């Protein structure tokens, strides 16, 4: 039985969506048990009248909540009784627990994970790896997307290694095509950090490095992993999500502007629903913070039940694969490089 912690507060739809997602995950995965952290009375209200396997669900009372606008370091230090920090401490201290999921403050989660949870040997800094769907029906992982706004070339190589092992182990992508986000295809593009990273990635035979990627090619299906510094990786992921949402919104508005269009859209109802599902990031789970000894999954702040359940599934898959060992094995080969 795999134990996964679920921080039930701090998201836009907490705690209802988190509890709902927990029950869905319990249904779907028979060899998982969940520990929910948060205000016990509130969580019990959410569970009231619901049918579930009570032997696989436990509540750990944590009365405080970390808000999105709190300073991460202060939150980690001062809010010891928050749902997030209780989960982090349990993750650190309980050898029987391997993973946690949170939809709370990203900054606080990163600060807590970095200071409380050990790293895989050799890893300089853990990094986020969110997943986006591509037009060819596949998935692409972007690492880092915001945990590290400042990076070194060696860190970028490690992001490539961690994400490649992740896409292979968790999503079954064989020999993931790894690219480096840059302002042009040519190796000498970008600042010195990206130029150096290009050289390091090219000289890592464990990776299937295919060169620089220009951001307009992200969704084309030619890449399985995009290595990025946390700043531009964040811009890449959020711009993609934002543009997709804005365009869908515009389509909808324009459809309602004329009866003829409404009629046409009626015939295409299923297609539009499919497009919406395709672009709905709730369907793709959260971002795993790669490089830690234990699994930490950050769900979207706006995660609904379906997304929370997906995050728990990601945590489960992380724990049932041998990602940490494989990551360490490759990273330790290059550990003597200076950083």
Write out the residues near a copy of itself by the rule CB under 8 A. 69, 135, 146, 149-150, 181, 183, 186, 190-191, 194, 214-220, 230-232, 234-236, 238-247, 249-251, 254-255, 258, 260-261, 263-268, 271, 274-275, 278-279
- Give least dist CB 268 to a copy of itself, A: 4
Q: Nearer to a copy of itself by C-beta: 187 or 306? A: 187
Q: Nearer to a copy of itself by C-beta: 118 or 220? A: 220
- Give least dist CB 212 to a copy of itself, A: 12
Q: Nearer to a copy of itself by C-beta: 247 or 325? A: 247
Structure tokens at 334: 């290059």
Q: CA 43, 45, 49, 54 torsion: positive or negative?
A: positive
- Give least dist CB 128 to a copy of itself, A: 11
Q: Nearer to a copy of itself by C-beta: 94 or 186? A: 186
Angle, helices 106-116/83-93, rounded to nearest 10 degrees = 20
Whether the bond into 32 is cis, omega within 30 of 0: no
Q: Nearer to a copy of itself by C-beta: 139 or 251? A: 251
| CA–CA distance, 205 with 255 (Å, rounded to integer) | 51
- Give least dist CB 232 to a copy of itself, A: 5
Structure tokens at 69: 């606008």
- Give least dist CB 251 to a copy of itself, A: 7
- Give least dist CB 131 to a copy of itself, A: 16
First to last CA, the chain: 39
Q: Nearer to a copy of itself by C-beta: 42 or 251? A: 251
The DSSP bridge pattern shows strands 97-102 and 2-7 to be parallel
| CA–CA distance, 152 with 265 (Å, rounded to integer) | 49
Strands (E), the chain: 2-7, 32-38, 57-61, 97-102, 127-129, 131-133, 139-143, 177-181, 208-213, 225-227, 287-290, 295-298
Partner residues linked to 7 by β-bridges: 37, 102
Q: Nearer to a copy of itself by C-beta: 135 or 332? A: 135
- Give least dist CB 164 to a copy of itself, A: 21
Q: Nearer to a copy of itself by C-beta: 82 or 232? A: 232
- Give least dist CB 282 to a copy of itself, A: 15
- Give least dist CB 256 to a copy of itself, A: 11
Nearest CA to 97 out of 18, 34, 31 is that of 34
Report yes or no: 252 and 221 within 8 Å, Cβ to Cβ. no
Q: CA distances (Å), 210 to each of 72, 166, 167, 324, in order?
A: 37, 17, 16, 24
How many CA atoms does the CB half-sphere of 52 hold within 13 Å? 25
Q: Nearer to a copy of itself by C-beta: 113 or 181? A: 181
Strands (E), 273-317: 287-290, 295-298
């Amino acid at each position: 039985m795999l134990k996964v912690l679920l921080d039930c507060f701090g998201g836009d739809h907490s705690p209802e969506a988190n509890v709902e997602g927990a029950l869905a995950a319990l249904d779907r995965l028979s060899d998982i048990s969940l520990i929910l952290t948060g205000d016990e009375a509130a969580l019990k209200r959410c569970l009231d009248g619901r049918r579930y396997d009570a032997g696989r669900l436990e509540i750990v009372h944590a009365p405080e909540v970390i808000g999105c606008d709190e300073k991460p370091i202060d939150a980690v230090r001062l809010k010891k009784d928050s749902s997030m920090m209780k989960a982090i401490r349990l993750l650190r201290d309980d050898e029987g627990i391997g993973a946690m999921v949170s939809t709370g403050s990203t900054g606080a989660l990163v600060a807590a994970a970095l200071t409380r949870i050990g790293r895989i040997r050799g890893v300089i800094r853990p990094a986020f790896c969110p997943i986006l769907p591509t037009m060819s029906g596949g998935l692409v992982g972007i690492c880092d997307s915001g945990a590290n706004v400042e990076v070194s070339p060696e860190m970028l190589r490690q992001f490539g290694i961690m994400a490649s092992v992740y896409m292979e182990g968790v999503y079954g992508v064989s020999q993931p095509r790894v690219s480096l986000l840059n302002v042009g295809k040519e190796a000498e593009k970008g600042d010195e950090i990206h130029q150096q990273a290009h050289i390091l990635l090219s000289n890592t035979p464990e990776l299937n490095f295919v060169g620089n990627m220009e951001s307009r090619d992200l969704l084309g299906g030619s890449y399985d992993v995009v290595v990025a510094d946390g700043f531009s990786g964040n811009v890449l992921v959020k711009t993609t999500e934002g543009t997709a949402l804005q365009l869908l919104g515009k389509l909808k508005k324009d459809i309602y502007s004329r009866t003829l269009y409404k009629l046409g859209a009626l015939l295409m109802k299923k297609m539009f629903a499919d497009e919406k599902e395709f672009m709905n990031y709730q369907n793709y789970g959260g971002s795993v913070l790669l490089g830690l000894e234990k699994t930490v999954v950050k769900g979207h702040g706006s995660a609904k039940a379906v997304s929370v359940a997906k995050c728990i599934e990601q945590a489960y898959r992380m724990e049932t694969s041998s990602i940490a060992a494989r990551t360490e094995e490759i990273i330790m080969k290059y550990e003597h490089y200076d950083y």
